[in-house]
Amino acid sequence: MLLRLLPAIHSPADLKALPIEALPELASEIRHAICDQVSRSGGHLAPNLGVVELSIALHYVFDFGHDRLLFDVGHQCYPHKLLTGRLPLLANLRKRNGMAGFPEPRESAYDLFSVGHAGTGIPTAVGMARGDLLNNEGWSPENPNGRRVVSLIGDASIVNGVAMEGLNNAGTLKRQFLIVLNDNGMSISKPQGAVAAYFDRIRLSHSYTEFKRAAKELTKVIPGGSVFSEMYHRLGEMSKAMISEDAWFEKFGLVTVGPIDGHDLPTLIDFLNEAKHLDRPMVLHVKTVKGKGYSFTEGDSCTFHSPAAFKVEMENEGCRVELKKSGRSFTTAFGEIMVDLMNRDPRIVACTAAMPDGTGISKVLKAHPDRAWDTGICESHALDMMAGLAKTGWKPFFSVYSTFLQRAFDQCFQEVSLQGLAVRLCLDRAGLVGGDGAVHHGFCDISLLSVLPDAVIMGAMDEASLAAACTFMADYDKGLTAVRYPRDSVSDMFADRPCPPFELGKARPLVVHDRPDLAVLGLGVMAIEAMRSLEHLNGHSEYKVSVYDARFAKPVDKELLKELLGRGIPVVTVEDHSIRGGFGACVLEACNDLGLDTRLVTRLGLPDAWIYQGERGEQLAEAGLDPASIARVIRGALDRTQAPVVEVVKRPKAGAARR
C-alpha cells in the first residue's frame, strides 16, 4: 500500500489541516503501517488497530501539545505515536533506538508517563487536572486558554482497583475532565467479572440500538452534508438523550454518554467537540472492535494481541497467517506442567489475572475449568482469592508476570505470609523482557518476597527444573513459595541429564572440580549463561571453574557456601534481578551470618539503572550478564590482577523534556 497522507503527518497540526473526508484514508494508512511493521518485528497489534479512528479523532479535536492525554496500560499508543510525528521510529519498533512499545516521555513530550500497568491512567489524570488548577492553567469557560485533560482506558482495565479509586476521585473534580472508555469487549483475553457483564448488557441495550437507528435516519435528511451545523445540533440533542440517569458511572458523579461507534470518525469528532466544552467530569463510552481492519486480527484478537513476527499469505477464500516460531517457551512449558500436576493432584487449583495466554493458564482453563480461573485485571484480588482457597484446604497456584506481582505485594504480606498459608507464585517474565522494556522487567520480585518470613524463592533454569520446582511447591505447605522464569525459550543444554528433585535450600552442581579455582552460582536461567561463559575462557585451560544451579534465592545453600568460602574459593553469583536485594545480596547476608569472608564474593545482576526496550540478548549484554561479560569477571577474579567489579550501566541522556 502506498502511504500518501501518513508521511506528511509530522505533528497533530498536520492532521488538523486535513479535511474530515480524508481521515478514513489516513486511518487505513495507519493500520497498514502498523500491521506491516508488527508482522516484521512483533508487537502489540490488535489493541492498536482497534483505536485508530479514536486516536485520530482525539488529536483532531484536542491539542495535546498543550492539553493532557493520559494512557492506561499504553499498549494501544502506536496510532498516537504516528500522529505525533514518530513514523521514522516505527521501522525499529521495540528496539533500542526505535519506537518504544509503550508511552515513553524520553521519546516525545506528547507522552506524559511511561505506562505499562493497568489502572493508572485515571488517577494520574486526576493528579494533573488538580495540578493544572493549582497552577491556574486548567481549562474552564472563564479560562479558555487553559489545559484540558483526557484519560483513555479500556473496558477491562477500568475494573482494576486503582482505576476505581481514580473514578471515585474524578467525580469530585469541579472542572473539565474527560474519560474515554474504549469498550471492545476484550482485554488481552475476554474480560471477566460483573462489570464486564454490565458492559455487555449496555451494548445490547435498546437505547444503543435506537441511537444508531436515529443517527442513520438523520443522515438521510442532510443534503450532501451542506447543513453540517444542523447535524451537529441534532447530534448534541441525541447525546443529551443518551445520558442515562441510572448509568453506572453516574454513581461516581460523572456525566455519562454512549456508547457510540468508535470507528465512525464524524460522529467521534462531533461528540468529542461537545465533551471538550463540558466543564464537568465526563465519561464517553466508545464501542470499538479489537483488531479492526483485518479479518485475521478481528477473528482472533487474543492471538494477535501481541504476536511475534508473522507472515500473511493470500489464498482463494481469504488469507493464512503463519506466526514466526522461536522455540519452546517457558510459558508453553509451564502450561503443560500445570495441567499434568492438576491431573495428578485433585487439590491443586490455579488462576491468573487477565493473562491466560501470556502465562500458559489457558491450557489449564480448558483442561480443568472447575479448578482454574481468570479473575481479570486485578492481581490483588486474585492473590487474596488464592489465600482464601488455601485457607479452605486447597493448593493454589497463582500465575502472574513478575512485573504485575508488585501490585499484590500487600496481599503476599498480609493475607498469605502473615497467615502462614501455602500459596504458590509462578512468576513469568522474570528478569529482562526484551521489547516491552522497562515497564515490564521483572527486576525486584526477590527483593520484595525475601523480606517475608519463611518465604521460599526459586529460579528455574530449564523446562525440567521448572517442572521439578512446581512439584516441590505442590508438596510444600509451610508458607509462600515462588518460582521465577523468563520470557524466553527453554534451553536443551541439560535435556539429556536427569533433573534431580528440588530440596529446600540445596543447589544443583552442573560442573564440579575437586579443588576449583572459582565457583559460579547462577540463579535460574543465569546458570545456563554461566555454563556458556566457560566457552569464552578458551586459552585459559588452567582455570578450573565449578558451576552450580543455585535453585534457591531463599534459603540459599549455606552448606555449599561454607564448603567453598571456607576453603578460600572465590564465588561469583549471577542473577537476572536487581543487584540490590537480590540473590547475591541473600548470599552476602548468609555469609555474614556464617562468619565467612564476603570479600571472596562477586555479585553480577541488573544494575541500579533503567534498561530500556531492545532484544533480550542486548539487554543482558548491557547489564553485563551475557556469557562474554560473565567470562571477563571470572578472568578478573582468577587473575588477581584486578578487583572483581560489576559493570554498571550509565543512564542514557534524557530525551524530550517532560512538561
Rounded Cα distance between 50 and 72, Å, is 15
What Rg do the C-alpha atoms of the chain give, in angstroms? 27
**What are the C-alpha distances in Å from 33 to residues 51, 86, 291, 546?**
14, 12, 14, 50
Question: Minimal CA–CA distance to 348: which of 463, 403, 454, 426?
Answer: 426
Q: Which of 412, 382, 378, 355 is CA-nearest to residue 165?
A: 378
Task: Read off the amino acid at residue 74.
Answer: G
Give the Cα separation of 333 and 489 in Å (integer).
9
| Helices 228-241, 265-276: inter-axial angle, 10-degree rounding | 70
Number of Cβ within 10 Å of residue 411's Cβ equals: 22
Distances (CA, A) of 437 to 33, 252, 387, 559: 22, 35, 31, 37
Question: Can 379 be counted among the known catalytic residues?
Answer: yes
Say which amino acid occupies 46.
A
d(CA 305, CA 298): 10
Which CB contacts under 8 angstroms, 24+ apart, belong to 531-535?
531/493, 532/627, 533/627, 533/628, 533/630, 533/631, 533/634, 534/631, 535/627
**Which residue in 104, 107, 274, 379 is the catalytic one?**
379
Q: Kindly report the three-state secondary structure assignment for every residue of 488-547.
A: CECCCCCCCCCCCCCCCCCCEEEECCCCCCEEEEECCCHHHHHHHHHHHHCCCCCCCEEE
Q: How far apart are the C-alpha atoms of 469 and 504, rounded to whole Å?
A: 10
Contacts of 48 (CB under 8 A, 6+ apart): 34, 75, 76, 77, 78, 79
Alpha-carbon distance 527 to 654, whole Å? 34
Decide if 152 contacts 180 (C-beta within 8 A).
Answer: yes
Extended beta strands in 353-462, E state: 372-374, 395-401, 424-428, 456-459
CA torsion sign, 163 to 166 to 168 to 171? negative
Cell of 17: 489541516
- Strand order from edge to edge, sheet including 601-606: 508-511, 545-549, 518-522, 571-578, 601-606
Number of CB atoms found within 10 A of residue 303's CB: 17
Q: What are phi and psi of 603, to 5 degrees?
A: -105, 135
Distances (CA, A) of 153 to 51, 54, 163, 279, 571: 11, 12, 9, 20, 49
- Catalytic member of 290, 292, 508, 603: 290
C-alpha cell at 399: 500465575
For 604, the enclosing helix (H) or strand (E) is strand 601-606
C-alpha span between 70 and 263 (Å, rounded): 21
Burial 500-511 (b: 16+ CB within 10 A, else e): eebeebbbbebe
d(CA 429, CA 445): 11
In Å, the largest CA–CA distance within the chain is: 93
**What are the catalytic residues?**
290, 379, 407
